[in-house]
Every structure is written in C-alpha cells, then in structure tokens.
Amino acid sequence: MFEPNEKRVFALGPGVDFPSALIDGLRLRLSDQPPEAMAHVELVVNTTRMARRLQTIFQNGPPGFLPKISVLTELQKRVAHKLPHKVAPLRRRLELEQLVRHLIRQQRDLAPEANAIDLADSLAELLDECQSEGVDPAALAKLDVSDMSGHWQRSLAFIKIAATGTQREDGALDPEAYQRLAVETLSNTWRETPPLHPIILAGSTGSRGSTLALMKAVARLPNGAIVLPGFDFGLSPGFWADMKNALVYEDHPQFRFQAVMTACDVAPSEVTPWVHTRPEAPERNQIVSLALHPAPVTHRWMTDGPRLPDISDAFRKVTLVEAPDARSEASAIALRMRAAKEAGQSVALITPDRMLTRQITSALTRWGLVPDDSAGSPLHLSPPGRLLRHVADSFVAPMTPDRLLAVLKHPLTHVGADRGWHLLFTRELELFLRRTGPPKVDLAILNSFVDKMDADGLSAWVDWLAATFLRDQLNERQPQDWLRQLVHAAEQAVAGSTGHVSDELWARNSGEQAKAVVKTLQDNAGFGGPLGAFDFARLIQFLLSRESVRDRDAPDPDLMIWGTMEARVQGAELLILGGLNEGAWPEVTQADPWLNRALRHQAGLLLPERRTGLAAHDFQQAIAAKEVWLTRAKRNDDADTVPSRWINRLTNLMSGLPVRNGPTALRDMRARGDTWCAWSAALDD
C-alpha cells in the first residue's frame, strides 16, 4: 500500500473535502490489490462525526468491503486490561474544590470564596494539560520565579500540593493521565509486536500531547501512516523553520503541524499529498495564507503580495456582511439560508457564537424551517435545566416576587392535574404582588393573599407553594444532602398541589440528560466537602451548562449549523462563517490564574494562544470552500465591536494591493453583503 522509503506523513490542503478525499486516496492506493484488502485497513479518526461521515460515504459509494473505522479514544480499550481504572472527571473536580476552598480560607487575598468552583475547574484543566503533555506537576515547583511576584510562588507550591493531594491509594487515574498511559502502553505493545495491517490516523492536528505521541507511534509502524487536515503546502521552508518559535507563532493556523513533523522526523517538503484533489479555490488559499501571517512577519506582505494571483477573481464567490447589529446579522443569514433552500443548495452556518445560532434558528421559524444544529441547545436552558436552577436558587436567598413568578410560570411547574387552576392562581398572585410590592415573599404575604381572594383549593395551593419554594436560609451541607433536597423539591414542583405524580421532569431527551447529570453528581458527591447554598447552586449551574441536548425533530438536512470542529469533517455548497468579531471568533484568551504565559512556556506547556491557533486553522479551512459568506455585527448590545483579527488582516492586505485588484474585490464583497442586509431590513419593515 505504501512505498518502501515513504515517510508516510500525508496531508490534504484547505478547501478539500477531507473525508471524501481520504476515501478516494485509500481506494487509489488499493486499486491494484484484491477487494478484500480494504477490510484489512484500519482508519483511526479524531471524532465520532468523522467516523459517521466516512461510513456514509462508503455506504453511498460502489459496493465493496469496508475498512475498520475507529475513534482515537477507542484505542484505550485495547490495553484497558493493563491499566488501572479511571475516575470520573467530576470526582476530581470535587476533590480539587475542597483543596482550593481550604487555600482561599487560609489566604483571603487570593480570591473570593465564591470563585472556588471556577478556580478548581481551571486547576483541573491545568493538571489535565500536564498529564496530556507529559509534564510532572510536582516539577512545576522548581520553575524559576525569582523575578516574579510572590503570587506565582504560592501558586506553584499549591499546584504541587494539589497534584499529590489527589493521588489515590487504589492507583486510579484521572482521565487525561489514563489516556496518556494508554497511548504509552499501546506504543510499547506496537514496538514489541507491530501490527502488519495498514493503520491510518487521519484528521488530527496533534494539538494535545497524548494525541501527538499516538501519531508518532502510528507513523513508525511498518504499515502506519498519518493524514493531516488543512495543510498549507505553499509555505516556504524558511517560514516553517521560523515557526519553531512558539512565542511568536503559537496562534498561526499551521503551527501545530510543526510539532507533528518534528515528532515524526519529517521535513515540510517530505509531507506528501494524500491524493491530488484540487481545492475549490486554490488562488484564494494563497491570499488567505499570506494574510494569516503573524503580526511580527507581516512585512512579507510587501514582497509576497504583488506576486499573488488576481484577488478579484479569487474572491468572486466571497461575500462580506457587516451588519449594523447582531439581530440584523442573524436576519441576513436566515434570509440567505432560505434562498439556498429554495435553490436546492446545501448551506452550513459555522460559528462558535451560540447566541447567534439561536437568533438565526428563531428567524428561520417564520418560514417553517428547522436547521440541523449539531451542537443542540445548552442543557441549563432546557425546561428541566431551568427548573432545577430555579429550585437551587431558592435555597440561596429569600424568595423575591420576580423569582417566585418565574418558577411558577415554568412549563413544568404543576404540570399534572388542575394546571388551569394553577395558572389562574399564579395570575392573581402576580396582580396582588404588583399592587402590594413586597421586597420578598413569605408566609405572611401569602396569608394576606389568601384572605384577599376566597377560592376553592387556594389554601392547598398556597401550602404547596410555601413548602416547595419558600424556606429559611440554609447552612452548609454535604453535596449529597443538597442534591437529595433539590430533586425532592423539583419533583414536588412538577407534581403540584394535588400531589399528582408525574415523570415530566425526566421525560424526553432533555429530561434524560438532566437525570444523567443528577446521577453523576449523586455517584461522586461523597468526594466533595460541605457546601453553602450559593456554592451548590453554582455547582448545579456549572454541571448543567457543560451538557447539551438535541430535542428538535425532523430538522432540514440541507440547512446545517456547525461548531468549528464539525466543519472540519463535513461538506456543504455554501459556508457561512458567522460572528467574526474579536471575543467571539476567536474567543477571548482566558488568563490562567495558576501559571502565567512565561511559566507555561518554561514548563513546556501549551501557551494560551493555542486555542486561537486552532480557531485560525478552522477559519483557514472554512474560507477555502467554493462559496463563502463572512459575517459580523458592527455593534452588540453594549458597544461597538472589533472585527476578528482574520477579517482585519484580510481586508488590510486586500486594501494595500491595488495592483492585484484588492480594493475592487473588497468593495464588491461588501456590496454583495450590503444588498442582503438591505433585503432583510426591507423584509422586517
């Protein structure tokens, strides 16, 4: 399948449909072998979505054998019998939360105690990264902080305590440590008895240390190979050599490939195209590649810019929408998606901005269109998630009228028998509270309401309301005690004053997801320490917000909404890149409260700009599609926005190249976007 002297590090360029090209290259390399040779090939991909797309392409193609398709994380199962067991991520977070809370109580100037959960989460991410990158957390205490403030010295000392304090007597490992050990064990097994069948690891950029170690092991197999996505074959050898400086190039879209090539002992010129599939817009790729050069080397625009192809031709199918506000941006995108639907064109919106996707989904409902949103909806915004949060908030402080009315009007509250009477009583209570205006709702207020309104069943309803939502300030309790009270109160809220037993709280996809979160917390609550009501409410909010749920039925297969990761493995005729503002895409670089940038670099950890570099790689791949929309809002709810750095660089490069028709191309892109904004505004009028 491979040539004897091949390095077996392959790649596909931006704008190439990666799954389709991967299969085309596989069939081409097996064209002179018997049909059953395909069944011996093993494809290892980075996501389940990639695996599903590959299976779909094979099923829609000519009859034949299928390769074995697996996901990176599934490789753990092959050596699971040699590894200790793995603990749940929540257990480790609860353990760290206790340590962080104790630290804050000892050093009050470190942070407010209310931030203990957030600090524990960031500490867990740091320890995960140490384990993934093969950095001993205990060794961090030896970093040189002589010229830094005392805060970082305290931080390093506590990281060492946290790393040793979470070691378990039974040898159980955290998820990232388990993954790293699984990769090392599998690599050693392959080194002793290498598999003879072809193993191809495809679609990963090697952004995490454990994944990079696995890619290195696969590349060394007798019939192993890796296929990189979105590799820029046009970069010069000198640029690749300069890219070894992480402090300058970490946010470049191709930076992660430098580490992959170094690990596999391959020069950039030795990376071979997996298949010679022509990108949709190769001239545009050249322009975007130059535009995305990091700021310290943008002087190359002066020398390389005049040698670019004609920009006007390259961007003829690119539209730049600069809407006045977020609502106008969503309306214009929805109108374009509707037009694509009518023309029989598949369209995908790509954005990390979930608020924008919800606005677009809402705008599409005016035409009865339901997009296929791959990310679904956040669980904490679903009906069960909101009810659980409302009940948890009732533990924190005295119930105010607005909070009480919000939970009483919730669609799951009193969902059983006599809900009509419940809504009637709720309306009358709202009118009473608006007339009297009490700062909080207590039994005295409710008794006054009962005296004012004489109705059958009102006393029982008020008793149920008070027992479910009104309570005195609660002291610290163990997490399992809080959870038991939360579930009881939430189920009592659903049952209503008649005591009608209902399973609506845990029904449908959202209810099942919420029940799974509750079950996970129940299984691991014993590893946490006492929590106050506020901290428990924050914990519930945190756990629910990390999950998503898909409750939509029969979405339109031609109208898709993807996150940036899904866009790497899918194909559509029109791609809309939405929310291209700083802080949204790319997201704001989060400051690490435990290690600053210099200490992370000194320790060999990833710099904060890594996420920006990965987002830039996603942008570079998406803008290489056949037809592209780039959209942003000039203003959000608070203030004027700043265009995404990639939009800024691209427009600045185009504006400075009149010899390549750059200003003309930019003017045409904006004119096309202004036309659609005008149409959407006229439709709203």
Distance CA 666, CA 250 (A): 28
pLDDT for residue 553 is more than 80: no
Strands (DSSP E) along 520-578, which ranges?
Answer: 548-549, 556-562, 574-577
pLDDT reading at 552 higher than 60: no
Predicted pLDDT of residue 391: 94
Instruction: Quote the radius of gyration of the chain (alpha carbons, Å).
Output: 28
Identify the three-state secondary structure at position 644. Answer: coil
Maximum CA pair distance of the chain? 92
Q: Do residues 23 and 58 lie in contact, with contact meaning Cβ atoms separated by under 8 Å?
A: yes
Question: Euclidean distance between the first and final Cα of the chain, in Å?
Answer: 62
Is the pLDDT at 61 greater than 90? The verdict is no
- Token pair 């028998």: residue: 417
For position 622, what pLDDT does the model report? 92
Q: Give the pLDDT of residue 64.
A: 87
- Residue 523 confidence (pLDDT): 92
Residue 154 pLDDT > 80: no
Handedness of CA 290, 291, 293, 296 (dihedral sign): positive
Confidence of residue 577 (pLDDT cuts 50, 70, 90): very high
Please list, in sequence order, all residues whose beta carbon lies within 8 angstroms of the beta carbon of residue 150, skipping any fewer than 6 positions away: none
Tens of pLDDT, residue by residue over 356-414, are 999 999 999 999 998 988 777 889 989 999 999 999 999 988 889 999 999 999 999 99
Q: Kindly indicate the confidence band of residue 119, based on its pLDDT and cuts at 50, 70 and 90.
A: confident
pLDDT score recorded for residue 3: 74
How confident is the model at residue 48, as a pLDDT? 84
- Mean pLDDT, the chain, whole residue set: 88
Q: For 179-192, what is the mean pLDDT?
A: 92
What is the C-alpha separation between 312 and 105, in angstroms, rounded? 62
pLDDT for the residue numbered 122: 85
Determine which of 274-278, 456-460, 473-477 has the lowest per-residue pLDDT on average: 473-477
- pLDDT confidence of residue 372: 86
* Mean predicted confidence (pLDDT) in 663-676: 96
Q: At what angle do helices 479-495 and 508-524 cross, to 10 degrees?
A: 150
Q: Residue 15 carries which DSSP code?
A: T
Amino acid 167: pLDDT: 65
The DSSP bridge partners found for residue 575 are 348, 628
Q: Is 628 left (phi over 0), alpha (psi -120 to 50) or beta?
A: beta
Q: Which pLDDT belongs to residue 134?
A: 84
pLDDT number for residue 554 = 63
* Rounded distance between C-alpha atoms, residue 436 and residue 429, angstroms: 10
The pLDDT-based confidence of 165 (bands split at 50, 70, 90) is low
Q: Tell me how far apart the alpha carbons of residues 683 and 685 are, in angstroms, rounded to a whole number.
A: 5
Span 69-82, pLDDT tens digits? 999 888 878 888 88
Mean pLDDT of 32-51: 91
**Rounded distance between C-alpha atoms, residue 652 and residue 298, angstroms:** 11
Q: How far apart are CA 232 and CA 578, in angstroms?
A: 23
| Single-letter residue type at 635 | R
Res. 108: pLDDT tops 70: yes
- SS in 3 state form for 458-507? HHHHHHHHHHHHCCCCCCCECHHHHHHHHHHHHHHHHHCCCCCCCCHHHC
Cα–Cα distance measured from residue 190 to residue 416, given in angstroms and rounded to the nearest whole number:
59
